[in-house]
Amino acid sequence: MPSKKILLLAIILTALIAVGVFMLSPALFSRSNRTRMVIQFIRDPMSHADWVVPALSRCGDAPFMMPSSGMIGFIWDDSFRPWHRHQGMDIFAGTGVGKMPVYAAYGGYLTRLEDWKSSIIIRVPSDPLQADRQIWTYYTHMADPSGASLISVEFPPGTSEIYIPAGTFLGYQGSYSGTPGNPTGVHLHFSIVKDNGQGWFLNELEIQNTLDPSPYFGMPLNANQNTDELPLCPSSDLNLD
């Protein structure tokens, strides 16, 4: 009888390990090539200049411009750590904190909540891909590791519903994680957030509240279709405004 219990426990343990490996596989294997490329770029950006997408460029006739220059390292629904689904795209500057400018990818009405050190959000009343709905574009990590803001002084905490056109300077890429002294690495996190139906934005931390940015930028920014390749606009389609 004891041997049967041991066998049963072994079977259960094996099954749990198999499930764990399956759940972790997107983070450990599927996106591994892109993760390696991010590390390579951060260590030596000058050797990988061809991985950089320029700020204010547009891929073909896509409605959004690139909000900052850099390598698009992680994309929508990436799983670069266990139990995490990435809600947008990360643009890595390859520079120090406060060096790489950030611009509005599309025009709209800018808000910065009173307690936001590194984030702003822009209301787009009419989605360029679906005119009958409102969306929000969200920009974050624009502060240094201690939380000192790198957002433009034009948009202090408490700013509400200030209209800005596409291409407006918003601030600089930073590395603030929300916890002082625990930097993220210098990059801009950009996401497209759904409206709650009452004129406000949903919680950006949950992927179901965000939209796949691929059609807005004309590039493969959905990790379910682009499993490990670096997103780039074909040079023949790249437009500099």
Which CATH number does the domain housing residue 130 bear? 2.70.70.10
Q: State the amino acid at position 232 in one-letter form.
A: L
Q: What is the pLDDT of residue 17?
A: 43
C-alpha closest to that of 147 among 103, 115, 188:
115
List, for residues 41-81, the tens digit of each pLDDT value.
Answer: 999 999 999 999 999 999 999 999 999 999 999 999 987 66
Distance in angstroms (rounded) separating the CA atoms of residues 155 and 158: 8
Three-state DSSP class for 220?
coil
Model confidence at 30, pLDDT cuts 50, 70, 90, reads: very low
Q: For the residues 18-41, what does the mean pLDDT come to?
A: 60
Which of 111-120, 127-136, 176-185, 187-196 bottoms out in mean pLDDT, i.e. has the lowest? 176-185
Task: Note whether residue 39 is domain-resident.
Answer: yes
Task: Note whether residue 4 is domain-resident.
Answer: no
The tally of domains found in the chain comes to: 1
The pTM for the full model equals 0.86
Using an 8 Å Cβ cutoff, are 97 and 128 in contact? Answer: no
Task: Note whether residue 190 is domain-resident.
Answer: yes
- Outline where 90-209 has alpha helix (H): none
Task: Note whether residue 163 is domain-resident.
Answer: yes
Place of tokens 């426990």: 9
Task: Note whether residue 14 is domain-resident.
Answer: no
Q: What is the pLDDT of residue 25?
A: 40
Q: For the residues 188-207, what does the mean pLDDT come to?
A: 97
Q: What is the pLDDT of residue 24?
A: 38
Task: Note whether residue 1 is domain-resident.
Answer: no
Q: State the amino acid at position 54 in one-letter form.
A: P
Q: 172: domain range? A: 31-240
CA 93 to chain centroid: 13
Task: Note whether residue 73 is domain-resident.
Answer: yes
Q: Tokens in use for 185?
A: 């690495």
Task: Note whether residue 199 is domain-resident.
Answer: yes
